[in-house]
């Protein structure tokens, strides 16, 4: 039986990259999306093609849910219970950037609330829901080894004064990963934080020229942009069980941005 992975915010960008890499290793995937059904359908088709190219037969389903809304989170989990009866991997990827980059002395409460609700509160309580289900499943299936991944950002620790709300939301998510890692270890549920750097997605396109210059000037030791595929490969390694004696750790996928150099 294939593993089953739920990837939130998987219609495009990093979420799509993760879904594709999981499909390549033969994992069934639930593609969660909030509004872009066309993009979600494309991700489903691409996952099936990637699986077939790698000789895998998988099931891929899509499900619309805004994870910042309690009832929609519950609907998503109930769908997975009804359709698959289990979940092996939760990937908390869904997230948004500020609608407008604004200095922290001018930024609005509305923007702050939006980012906290989607980027931090939603994943936190979705993980709570799924963790309790995983605990029940582990009690009856001792060989079951579920995993949870939080996709955060270098913005969890790197200061951006024109998007403080985003930085705070990612810092909160980073702490959530640690909290759940400690709480769930006794049940054999491992938790990981994958921390992307500058990744080539729609979210980073508005700042492309600036990031191009920073990268060329040595912002990252590896002088190139990251891709959604890079993040996907890190998550696939987790799904394959390559870190069995590890929980709560940060896996940096940032071209070396986190390194301090004298």
- Indicate whether 259 belongs to any domain: no
Rounded-to-integer distance, Cα 152 and Cα 158, Å:
12
Q: Distance between the two ends of the chain, CA-based, in angstroms?
A: 50
Give the pLDDT confidence of 71-113 residue by residue, as tens digits. 999 999 999 999 999 999 999 999 999 999 999 999 999 999 9
Q: What is the pLDDT of residue 142?
A: 80
Q: What is the pLDDT of residue 81?
A: 97
- Which residues, including other chains, have CB under 8 Å from residue 236's CB and lie 6 or more apart? 21, 22, 24, 25
Q: What is the pLDDT of residue 22?
A: 98
- Indicate whether 197 belongs to any domain: yes
- Indicate whether 261 belongs to any domain: no
Place of tokens 């066309």: 38
The CATH number that applies at residue 88 is 3.40.50.720
pTM for this prediction = 0.96
Rounded-to-integer distance, Cα 103 and Cα 165, Å:
10
Rounded-to-integer distance, Cα 254 and Cα 227, Å:
10
Catalytic hit among 33, 166, 192, 211? 166
- Indicate whether 107 belongs to any domain: yes
Residue numbers in the chain where pLDDT is lower than 50: none
Q: How many residues does the chain have?
A: 262
- Indicate whether 262 belongs to any domain: no
Question: Residues 30, 47: contact at Cβ < 8 Å?
Answer: no
Question: Residues 147, 94: contact at Cβ < 8 Å?
Answer: no
- The total number of structural domains in the chain stands at 1
> Is 166 marked active-site?
yes
- Indicate whether 40 belongs to any domain: yes
Place of tokens 């400690």: 182
- Indicate whether 12 belongs to any domain: yes
Q: What is the pLDDT of residue 261?
A: 87
Range of the domain at 218: 4-253
- Indicate whether 258 belongs to any domain: no
């Amino acid at each position: 039986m294939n593993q089953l992975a739920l990837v939130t915010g998987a219609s495009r960008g990093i979420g799509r990259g993760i879904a594709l890499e999981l499909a390549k290793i033969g994992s069934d995937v639930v593609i969660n999306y909030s509004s872009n059904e066309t993009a979600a359908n494309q991700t489903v088709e691409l996952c099936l093609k990637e699986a077939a190219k790698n000789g895998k037969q998988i099931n891929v389903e899509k499900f619309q849910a805004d994870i910042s809304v309690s009832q929609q989170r519950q609907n998503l989990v109930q769908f997975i219970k009804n359709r698959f009866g289990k979940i092996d991997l939760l990937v908390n990827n869904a997230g948004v950037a500020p609608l407008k980059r604004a200095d922290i002395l001018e930024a609005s409460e509305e923007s702050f609330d939006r980012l906290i609700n989607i980027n931090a509160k939603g994943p936190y309580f979705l993980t709570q829901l799924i963790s309790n289900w995983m605990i029940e499943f582990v009690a009856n299936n001792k060989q079951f080894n579920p995993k949870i991944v939080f996709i955060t950002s270098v913005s969890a620790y790197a200061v951006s004064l024109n998007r403080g709300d985003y930085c705070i939301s990612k810092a909160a998510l980073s702490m959530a990963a640690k909290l759940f890692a400690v709480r769930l270890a006794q049940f054999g549920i491992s938790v990981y934080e994958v921390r992307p750097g500058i990744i080539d997605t729609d979210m980073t396109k508005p700042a492309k020229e600036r990031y191009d210059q920073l990268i060329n000037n040595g912002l990252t030791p590896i002088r190139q942009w990251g891709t959604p595929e890079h993040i996907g490969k890190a998550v696939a390694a987790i799904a394959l069980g390559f870190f069995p004696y590890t929980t709560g750790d940060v896996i940096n996928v940032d071209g070396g941005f986190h390194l301090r150099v004298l």
